[in-house]
Amino acid sequence: MNGLAKIICLFMAFSILFSSSASALMSVEEERQMRGKLLQMVRARASLINDPEVIEYVSDIGHKILAHVKNPLFHYEFFVIRDEGMNAFAMPGGLVFVHTGLIENIDSENELACVLAHEIGHVQGRHIARRMERMKRVNIASLAVAVAGLFLGSGQAESAILATSGALSASISLKYSREDEEEADRRAYQWLCAAGYDPRGLVRVLKKMRKYRWLGSDSIPSYLSTHPTTPQRITYLEDLYNRDVCPLKVKEDTFRLKRIQIKVTVLSHDPAMLEKKFSRELKSDPNNIFMLFGLAQSLLADREYDRAIGVYQRLIAKGRQGKKFLPDLGWAFLAAGRYQDAINILRPYAEAHPGDYSVRYGLAKAYLELKRPNQALSLLEDIKDKLSNQSEIALQMGRAMEELGRLGEAHYYFYLHYRETGNMMSARFHRQKALELLPRDSVLYKKLKNNMHAREDDPGGKINGGRDSGGTN
């Protein structure tokens, strides 16, 4: 199904689900119902980064902020979109998106924390829902499509749908007002101070965005298009800090940020071109570990496995700093199909670093490829609520259950995987098979039966609870 057909189907579904007019403030529950549809629209029209380390980095920072949000309205999830624009946005229901272009251009973790806090401020302030309230004659179905159009942009054909539904004019009205921005700023300021960040990071990001707004893509508007900023607002933020200086407590991990930025760069650009770039830079600085890392990642993305492994081995030989890249060598072995070599690297590293859940996830994948499902499942059960890439965890758990002949459970986890990725046809198939095969008194069967009347198209949430930031879906 192409993007236009998906939008038409989603719009028809909204028309059925939300036929009442938006004459009153949209409820929190209605925002939660909209959340699943919006996530499907994003998946259909934008390229999401699935690298677990990148997602965990953004999610970790987001949850440092959420730890200081009293009574969060929703279960928040964080995503990274492959796009060079310096952009970030939040949709109703607690969906927060960051563009790779923003991650590449920040100078500190603090700057990213400030952007995420501001976006959470918009969600907690329910600014989209409140602006919907003001358009009495536009139904929620049209407004939902407008929200997607506002943040995701729209092609020519899709613009026709928006215009026909009346949502095009609505999307213009849905842009945040100065009052919305100031409220989000105030909320973000409090949370950032409590978390130990410097709220002035948002001013630095805004100034960068004004300077480099030409980086925005054609498909997705720049941050400043939906978040109006003025010199007065920047002055207001600076004055706020001068009146109430925050104690800075966060010790930033600059090594981790640099790693993430290089990974994001490789995931977002032509690896062959990057290979040449990193090779040139290494000629003048042959011991630069991050340039070596970039070269290895580029070769890996270009499926030059043996060369990538050679560069990783050269990198690891650089001493203490180089040893930090051992897991990357393990992942390179995994990508190359050298599963036992991957285990030989990842297993001792995981034992020495039990809190590195992405390494244990890679180890589980290697065990699965070698048909050792018991060892894989033991790891997956332990980490399933600790990583953000829930759809991939569910997929691997389904594979392990299938190998063990536990077919009812396998179908249950395949159902979760396909539901999370928005493939509702496959999700319905696996849910039905799970209901047929699971014992009627099992926990998983009861979960499925209890959710029979819940929205199938409302993905989100952990496999079994996990790190929650409030609300339910």
3-state secondary structure of 228: coil
Residue 413 near residue 373, CB atoms below 8 Å: no
- The structure tokens listed for 286 are 């042959």
What is the distance between the alpha carbons of residues 122 and 124, in angstroms, rounded to a whole number?
6
Positive or negative CA dihedral for 378, 382, 384, 388?
negative
| HEC secondary structure over 307-320 | HHHHHHHHHHCCCH
Per-residue pLDDT in tens (0 to 9) along the chain, 473 residues: 444 344 434 443 443 344 344 345 667 777 777 777 778 778 877 889 989 899 999 999 999 999 999 989 888 999 999 988 888 888 888 999 999 999 999 999 999 999 999 999 999 988 877 766 655 555 545 555 666 666 666 544 344 444 444 444 445 455 677 788 888 888 999 999 999 999 989 888 888 877 765 444 444 445 555 666 667 777 778 888 888 778 888 888 999 999 999 999 999 999 999 999 999 999 999 999 999 999 999 999 999 999 999 999 999 999 888 999 999 999 999 999 999 999 999 999 999 999 899 999 999 999 999 999 999 999 999 998 888 788 899 999 999 999 999 999 999 999 999 988 878 899 999 999 999 999 999 999 999 988 654 444 455 555 654 454 554 33
Domain range 384-473, CATH architecture = Alpha Horseshoe (1.25)
Residue 350 near residue 356, CB atoms below 8 Å: yes
Phi, psi dihedrals of residue 81, rounded to the nearest 5°:
-100, 135
3-state secondary structure of 150: helix
Helix axes 52-66, 357-369, angle to 10 degrees: 150
pTM for the model: 0.82
Q: Which residues contact 295 (CB under 8 A, 6 or more apart)?
A: 275, 278, 279, 282, 311
Domain boundaries, the chain: 3-243, 270-335, 337-382, 384-473
Q: Which residues contact 200 (CB under 8 A, 6 or more apart)?
A: 114, 237, 238, 241
